[in-house]
Amino acid sequence: MSGIQEQRDLIYATAGERPLKLDLYQPADPNGAGVILVHGGGWSRGSKAMVAPAARLLADQGFVVMATEYRLTGEAPFPANIHDVKRAIRWARTNAAQLGFDAARLCLEGHSAGAHLVLLAAGTPDDRRLAPPEGLGDVSQAVAAVCAIYPPTLFHIGEARPSGSLPARVLPGADASEASAALASPIEHVTAAFPPTMLLHGDADKVVPVSASRRFEERLRAVGARCDLHIYAGLPHGFANHPEIRPSMMGMVGGFFRRWAIGLEDFTAMPAAVAG
């Protein structure tokens, strides 16, 4: 992991008097793109330290990485957490030149609850219903690409459970009404303008059903948006933390971000096959 400069607990915003912090990973040879990395933990626990290994693997590929904290539900219910992610996007884009990347090449990656938040942020850049109390400001909230690892994508109220859905009560604040559950559901914000998306999920996931990612891919493709879906056979929730899986997985994630945020033409101009 040589050549990466790490800075801890930079304040990217405040919520009232509460400072919101991130950890910054700056590569020695930046590739021009940035990534905001959002941890999981069921919205009620976890920290930015959980994604430090993934952050370093991305920084090794040249990405400027910002691993962010957000207010957990014990401190503030939904939509406080998405407010904080949007604040992090605004901070990253505002400071992009100083940090060493192009603001138009900002990407998002999230794990589990963090995957839900990055999908929700990616699909609602201009939605004032999910804007922080101070508003969206004059800085774009749009991102170039998003990667979601075993993401919750749909919430429901009541006993009837649609395919891929979780009960809204798991995300306090989203369970206030059917409208609140829909607002918190990334799948309800899918349009043709949704940024290129990568979904990774294990088909043995007992926390978030793999159908959550399958239905999300179907919705994206139905409107003409771009999506890569990777299903890992036999793997449970949390597989991204496995030391034998994480390096290859993050290499694939980095390739996806390079493809859509840096140079699609480098991938579409495929070399000719070489005779054996």
Choose, from 102, 112, 201, 213, the residue flagged as catalytic.
Answer: 112
φ, ψ at 10 (rounded to 5°): -75, 135
Neighbour-count burial for 240-256, b at 16+ CB within 10 Å, e otherwise: beeeeeeeebbeebbeb
Indicate if 205 belongs to the active site. Answer: yes
Instruction: Say which of 39, 189, 205, 211 is annotated catalytic.
Output: 205
Instruction: Report the distance separating Cα 259 and Cα 83, nearest Å.
Output: 28
Give me the helices (H) in 8-145, please: 52-60, 80-94, 96-99, 113-123
**CA torsion angle 152 150 217 204 (round to 10):** -110
- How far is it, in rounded angstroms, from Cα 223 to Cα 29? 37
**Would you call 47 a catalytic residue per the annotation?**
no
Rounded Cα gap, residues 220 and 238, in angstroms: 24
| Burial (0-12, 13-18, 19+ Cβ within 10 Å), 222 | exposed
Tell me if residue 237 is catalytic. yes
Taking the C-alpha atoms of residue 173 and residue 161, their distance in angstroms, rounded to an integer, is 19
User: What amino acid positions are annotated as catalytic residues?
Assistant: 112, 205, 237
